[in-house]
Amino acid sequence: TVHIAKPEKGKSLTDFQSVYNAIATKMKSESDYDDGTGYGPVLVRLSWHSSATYNIHDNSGGSYGGTFRFKKEASDPLSKGLENATKFLDPIHEEFPWISHGDLYTICGVTAIQELGGPKIPWRQGRVDTGPETVPAQGRLPVPEGDATYVRKYYERFGFDDQEVVALLGAHILGKTHLKNSGYDGPWDDDTNIFTNEFFGNLLERDWTLEKNDSGRMQYNAKGGIMMLPTDYALVQDPKYLKYVQKYAKDQDAFFSDFRDIYVKLLESGIDFDESIEPFVLKTLKEQSE
Ligand code: HEM
Ligand SMILES: N=C(N)c1ccsc1
């Protein structure tokens, strides 16, 4: 499959800054969502799931076609909860009908990461909606029960190495798990709607106990109500992953720059961007108010 980026006709940085500002403003005004979690984390998860169908071996899937808008993809049980993100974006798409779904589903994650104090994420436009016949069959999303071997094998489909996988999973500092969505239970711990490297510090420093949760699934719990999925905890069970967990726990700048690079790589997987399409570094609301 070939995905050639085609910029939205006559739209440039200022247009996408307007989209960013609309999303960021709506995030601020609806900050009580999910017991004060806010919409940032679920928007980041949508940007990940809309890119997570990618397969490097035939260049199929990925964010280009905006196929998460189709029920066939969005109804994947492993995406339960993301209807909150697509519903949040409906009025944004009404206001900016010219933006492709692929561009919308990726720029919303960039907006959330930046507004939650994360690194600046250079973002490129040009994803083009493709039809229902292009929706990949379900089964391309990862399951939370996996161990390190599973995680490593899963990300081989993207061509991501150990360092990239560890950096990318640092996004699990944001938001939480919900029994009604995934059957995992991550009680809210209010310092996790800020993008930091604490996911790695938590993995290394907290006392983790593997316990059965209220849905009968096994998860790692620590005092104070934070949790890790089995796939999260795999990062400290595997010596090759552990090395990067230790690196990022000690060095937030290194985590920020490595997360930026792999997040861009994820959002752009499978897409040919002509070099005439310049990456946009969108401004935060704070930067625009100074
Ligand atoms: C091994 C790969 C992964 C697995 C198995 C996994 C699994 C999960 C699960 C089970 C949840 C809870 C969903 C719910 O109950 O609401 C979740 C939430 C989340 N995931 Fe992942 N995930 C993975 C990778 C990623 C990546 C690569 C990103 C982003 C770069 C990401 C971002 C998020 C965010 C931000 C949330 C919180 C959503 C919310 O608070 O509603 N995840 N993930
Ligand atoms: N805190 C976590 N391990 C987490 C957050 C979202 S999914 C897993």
Given this chain, do its domains 3-140+263-289 and 148-254 carry the same CATH topology? no
In testing the pocket of ligand 2, which one of 182, 217, 227 has its CB within 8 Å of the most ligand atoms?
Answer: 227
Sign of the alpha-carbon dihedral angle for 79, 232, 189, 43? negative
Torsion (CA) 210, 199, 250, 211 in degrees, nearest 10:
-10
**Domain assignments of the chain as residue spans, ordered by start:** 3-140+263-289, 148-254
The ligand with the least distance to the CA atom of 42 is 1
Contact 51, 266 (CB under 8 A): yes
CATH class of domain segment(s) 148-254: mainly alpha
Separation CA 283–CA 265 (nearest Å)? 20
Separation CA 169–CA 252 (nearest Å)? 14
Instruction: Kindly give the interhelix angle for 40-49 and 101-115, rounded to the nearest 10 degrees.
Output: 140
Q: Is 122 in the pocket of ligand 1 (CB under 6 A)?
A: no
Residue with CA closest to ligand 1 atom 4:
144
Ligand 2 atom closest to residue 226's alpha carbon, by position in its atom list: 1
Segment 75-119, tens digit of pLDDT: 999 999 999 999 999 999 999 999 999 999 999 999 999 999 999
Ligand 1 atom closest to residue 263's alpha carbon, by position in its atom list: 30
Segment 9-37, tens digit of pLDDT: 999 999 999 999 999 999 999 999 999 99
Instruction: Look up the ipTM and state it.
Output: 0.99
Residue with CA closest to ligand 2 atom 8:
172
Residue where the block lists tokens 């799931």: 49
49 is known as an active-site residue? yes
The angle subtended at Cα 210 by Cα 206 and Cα 214, nearest 5°, is 115
Contact 208, 228 (CB under 8 A): yes
In testing the pocket of ligand 2, which one of 169, 173, 221 has its CB within 8 Å of the most ligand atoms?
Answer: 173
Segment 247-288, tens digit of pLDDT: 999 999 999 999 999 999 999 999 999 999 999 999 999 999
Task: Measure CA 157 to chain center.
Answer: 17
Q: Is 183 in the pocket of ligand 1 (CB under 6 A)?
A: no
Contact 166, 248 (CB under 8 A): yes
Separation CA 121–CA 267 (nearest Å)? 11
Please give the average per-residue pLDDT across 38-47, as a whole number: 98
Amino acid at 59: N
Separation CA 16–CA 110 (nearest Å)? 12
CATH class of domain segment(s) 3-140+263-289: mainly alpha
